Structures are given as C-alpha cells and as structure tokens.
Amino acid sequence: MKKIAGETNHFQNITVLLHYIGESNYRIEWTSKMTKGSTNLVKTGKNKYVVMRKWPESKALANVTANFTSRNAAFVHFIKNVDIIKSSDETINKAKQQCLDYFTQCEHIKPVTKTAFPKPRLQGALGREVIVKHKRNMSDIAKGHLLQLIGNKAEIQVTQRYTLCNPSAKQQFDTTQVYIL
C-alpha cells in the first residue's frame, strides 16, 4: 500500500483526512467546522469496518458506532452520516468524491469516475432536534436528537416520550416517522 501520511483536503467548512493504520488498515475522517463533529470510516482488519460518529461535547449527544463486514455497506453508511450543514451541494459532492477516491485507493479497487451521491432526506438533520410520529395516525410519540441514519432507520437519542413506552435512551424508527423540528 502506498503510504500517505495524514493526507488532508479542505472543502470550505469540511475537512477530509486519510490516516493509515499499519500496512493495510486506514481511517477516513470527515470533520465539519460548523458542528465540530466528525464521522470516521475505519478499516480495523480483513472484512472489519467501523463507522464512528463523534459529537462535540457541547451537544451532549451519545457518540455512535456501527460495525460492518462489507466494505461497500460501511462506505455507504459513512457517506450517509457525514455533516453537510451549511455547505453547498457542489462542496458536499466534491468532499464525498474525495472520500470515495481515498476508499477505492485504500481498498485497491478500480476508481469510480461517474458518481451521483444521493442526499438522504434527514442527512441535514444529524444532531438536530426531531419529532417522531406514529406510523398510522401521525400523532407525536417522542422527541429527541437524530444520531445516525442506518439504512431506512433513524437512530434517535430520545429526550421526551409522549406515547412511547420503551424506556431506552436510544431507539431506531423508520425514517418516514421522523421530522425536523
């Protein structure tokens, strides 16, 4: 593997870093100057990937991690959970392309030239206060902060329960039930 010690690229208020960990492991880090939060994709071993979301201390939100055995699933999860607050679509796409370039380089796969990065409906709400609605009658069931998007689910740190009985601090809901306040 070609050694690139701490390669960094800046895209307005977004910083993308590539760190090598040993011979075949790496970490791609996306940091937002606006939120002071970061999202990391880490290869820890053969077919072992971790995506970590770290919130600034001022937010008082739980940091989250997700483990993967598929590199593609890990990368998609990483891209869906990066901070995009107060950035233009062009800037976001350039930063995401840089992450993809790092990823293909580190994984020794053919570079992807024609890309279209969809923007998940709630990606701009990461870390923000959201309301959770009932599936059938659309009544409010809980309020909290959006921690991460997992497939078609949104993981919420619940701060208020209206009709929600589950006492867990963190819960997952269908993204169709979650709305930005």
Of 83, 107, 131, which residue sits at a domain end?
A: 107
Of 79, 107, 135, which residue sits at a domain end?
A: 107
- Asked if residue 134 and residue 92 are part of one domain, the reply reads no
- Asked if residue 135 and residue 66 are part of one domain, the reply reads no
Q: Which amino acid is at 19?
A: H
- Asked if residue 148 and residue 80 are part of one domain, the reply reads no
* pLDDT bucket at 2, cuts 50 / 70 / 90: very low
CA-to-CA distance for 53 and 109, rounded, in angstroms? Answer: 25
CA distances from 55 to 8, 60, 145, 158 (A): 21, 8, 12, 16
- DSSP class per residue in the chain: ----TTEEEEETTEEEEEEEETTTEEEEEEEETTT--EEEEEEEETTEEEEEEE--GGG----EEEEES-HHHHHHHHHHTS--TT--HHHHHHHHHHHHHHHHHHHT-PPP-S------TTGGGTTSEEEEE-TTT--EEEEEEEEEEETTEEEEEEEEESS-----SEEEEEGGGEEE-
- Asked if residue 21 and residue 91 are part of one domain, the reply reads yes
**What are residue 35's phi and psi, to 5 degrees?**
-100, -15
Of 48, 73, 107, which residue sits at a domain end?
A: 107
- Asked if residue 128 and residue 72 are part of one domain, the reply reads no
- Asked if residue 95 and residue 27 are part of one domain, the reply reads yes
- Asked if residue 128 and residue 102 are part of one domain, the reply reads no
Task: Write the pLDDT tens digit of every residue in 60-105.
Answer: 899 999 999 999 999 999 999 999 888 899 999 999 999 999 999 9
Owning domain of residue 41: 7-107
Task: Write the pLDDT tens digit of every residue in 118-168.
Answer: 888 899 899 999 999 999 898 999 999 999 999 999 999 999 999 888 888
Q: Which positions ≥6 away from 113 have C-beta within 8 Å?
A: none
Within-domain flag for 118: no
